[in-house]
Amino acid sequence: MSRKLFIAGNWKMNHTNAVAKEVLADLKAQVAGVTTVDIAICPTFTTLPTALEVLEGSNIAVGAQNVHFAANGAYTGEISAEMLNELNVPFVIIGHSERRQYFAETDETVNQRTKAALAAGIKPIVCVGETLEERQAGDTIKVVETQIKGAFEGISEAELANITIAYEPVWAIGTGETATPQQAQDVHAEIRKLVAALYTQAAADAIIIQYGGSVKPGNVVELMGQEDIDGALVGGASLKADDFAALVNNVA
């Protein structure tokens, strides 16, 4: 089963509108000919309108980095799916490990946020991954399975078709430490098996599973060459146009 690679950049809390405009115009030019890879950039909330404007009509989609599950209300600092929809944002990252670590996200809130995004027609990129301690204890698969079962509770197979999974071992995020292609492949294969068990083999064959954790132009080819790795969620190497363009072009 061939799946189209999906490479998304997560800018986290980086880049003002002025910088975003320059980086995205440069990136757009450098990947303009790419048709074999789906590309997205997830900038900050305040730079979403700039990103949507600069990238309109290009082959780069735009995503948000979070969405709240409530329609509106007393949730200081949060953004609703309706607000993202008003801007026509097609993707949203949900449950990134930094959200889980610093902002008390749980499998339950990830599930609620995923449902809110789906209900609004926004495609979630749902992040899962183990900490170093969990890997060293031999609990990687158990942890990832619990996160996926929690995140997908009550989500139908039809809805699943709009979800991307990002496997991001926490110990490899922003550390320069990458899972070896085999370590990543092993977990991706287990995730696909779990999706087959929870849904169907067809759903498992179709779902895009990105790898995230210090993906760079120099290691992307080997990682994307693994059977069950269908793309990447990229932090640091998505901040500069040259790096992200090289990363995409190396596998296009």
Matching residue, tokens 């087959």: 196
Identified catalytic residue from 68, 96, 145, 188? 96
Run of H or E including 54: helix 48-55
Least distance from C-beta 235 to ligand PEP, angstroms? 2
Matching residue, tokens 């120099």: 218
Please identify, using beta-carbon distances, which residue of 1 and 13 lies nearer to ligand PEP: 13
Q: Which residues bind ligand PEP (CB under 6 A)?
A: 10, 168, 173-174, 212-215, 233-237
Least distance from C-beta 149 to ligand PEP, angstroms? 22
Contact (CB, 8 A) for 248 and 224: no
Residue 91 CA from chain centroid, whole number: 9
Please identify, using beta-carbon distances, which residue of 80 and 231 lies nearer to ligand PEP: 231
Angstrom distances, CA of residue 116 to CA of 211, 220, 226: 24, 32, 32
Decide if 82 is catalytic. Answer: no
Please identify, using beta-carbon distances, which residue of 165 and 204 lies nearer to ligand PEP: 165
Angstrom distances, CA of residue 30 to CA of 52, 216, 232, 246: 17, 16, 18, 8
Decide if 96 is catalytic. Answer: yes
Least distance from C-beta 30 to ligand PEP, angstroms? 19
Please identify, using beta-carbon distances, which residue of 193 and 217 lies nearer to ligand PEP: 217
Least distance from C-beta 113 to ligand PEP, angstroms? 16
Contacts of 22 (CB under 8 A, 6+ apart): none
Please identify, using beta-carbon distances, which residue of 155 and 233 lies nearer to ligand PEP: 233
Angstrom distances, CA of residue 158 to CA of 14, 162, 202: 34, 8, 11
Least distance from C-beta 234 to ligand PEP, angstroms? 5
Identified catalytic residue from 105, 130, 145, 168? 168
**C-beta nearest to ligand PEP: residue:** 235
Matching residue, tokens 């979800």: 163
C-alpha to C-alpha distance for 151 and 153, rounded to whole angstroms: 6
Contacts of 16 (CB under 8 A, 6+ apart): 47
Q: Which residues are catalytic?
A: 96, 168
